Structure 1
Amino acid sequence: MSEPVTPSQFALETAVQRRGENLWTAELHAGWRIGAVPNGGYVLAIAGRALSEALPHKDPLAVNAFYLAPTTLGPVECRVELLRAGGNTSHASARLYQDGELKMVVTAAYTTLARLQGPSWSGQARPHFPAWEACVSGGDSGLEFRQRVDIRLVEEAAVFRGGEPSGSGEFRGWVQHADGAPPDAIALLMFADAFPPPVFDVLGVVGWVPTVELTVQLRGLPAPGPLQARLFSKHLTSGVIEEDGEYWDSAGNLVAISRQTAKVRLPRAQ
């Protein structure tokens, strides 16, 4: 008789409970905050898990989230509305509330990723990075979020050591759960918001870069092991920036792409 599988810390801390028709509740846990605010990808993963439990198809295919207000630690409610259930794809929306205030609105298409079939093509080859072990811990290791997520950058960014930004607007490297748990489809929603904002390597590690909107598209179920990630920006316009992400699994398969709209908030002059 096989022994029961112990849920990962990510699974436990994104767990949802059904409380009624179209209503799920969850808890935002410590360990996932950027400053005082829970990471947006972590919050999206909770909504994504509620959608997975509510829909006949269990894997996110395309998920779009608008962040209306910051969340805090503690209980949240997620209300799911089924828009359409097709043979291969289900569409739904989810609204996440905390203390009666609407915090996030999600629209999503769900499918069964293992059953996807058809032609494949890419106009860009997968980049080759040094192995996980050869890369350096990336970003601000003092962030609470780093208790849950391990990030390794291809090159040690001097900007995180008080140096000048390179101006590349790009971070490349690897990411995985800090406890080494294998990634799954719901975890890809969180990992899409895990890397430091690329604008930090343009302007320096200053201010705050809150997410306005995040879209994650999944292309497959990830193999066990760290994810190879590339997050880059090309345009900063009047304080608004886009962040584009590409994510490959340990087997070299493209498993997700993302695009995020964020605002760059610099400290006010004294």
Structure 2
Amino acid sequence: MRVALFVTCLADAMFPQVGKATVELLERLGHEVVFPEAQTCCGQMHINTGYRREAVRLVEHHVRTFDPFDAIVAPSGSCVGSVRHQHAEVARRAGKAQLTSRAEDVAARTYELSEFLVDVLGVTDVGARYPHRVTYHPTCHSLRMLRVGDRPLRLLREVRGIDLVELPEAEQCCGFGGTFALKNADTSAAMLADKLRNVLSTSAEFVSAGDSSCLMHIGGGLSRLSVETRPVHLAEILAAT
């Protein structure tokens, strides 16, 4: 299958290893991965902060860039959530009927990584090996917006050598929420403290998730505590051999 990588801004700018791991994983499974170089921000941060009119051009560009591909995969529940649940609505509110239809079509072919592996490719054992103690944090967008359910855990359970431990109160938000962490810093910090306490209670070497944004937030908190637990993206674990 020919797959387009929607790498997302954060991975491109700060966590390129996540994009590389996604490519390595999909290629190992026998698929051709294409990186459309014209891709830019999908517009999520504009939409979420009220700049819907400014987001229209980003939606148009995203649709034009990814329309030629049968499958679009991103290692980010957050950005896939925006494409699937916000793009067509932005176009609709702008009165652009054709763009609305095209955005809906592209959205239907856009998948978060664990969704694509389990639902489209029909695999849970991707041939990974990761001999470490790991706990998993289900991010809000993947859990509540995309409803990926236990797909990431089903993939992790098949990883050879892994010691996968349950995260207490796993479904609680880590407190990031994009600009929420900036506009509501005290509340965000309190939520992060709860999440860190639960992560550390597992004695895990690594905490994993499907969104680099949440891992950045959790990882920042862990580094300030000077503990040995580190963040690692789901894609990096699944690409490991």
Normalised to the residue count of structure 1, the TM-score between the two structures is 0.25
Which structure shows the higher helix fraction?
A: 2
Which structure shows the higher strand fraction?
A: 1
The one of the two structures with greater contact order (alpha-carbon pairs below 8 A, sep at least 6) is 2
Normalised to the residue count of structure 2, the TM-score between the two structures is 0.28
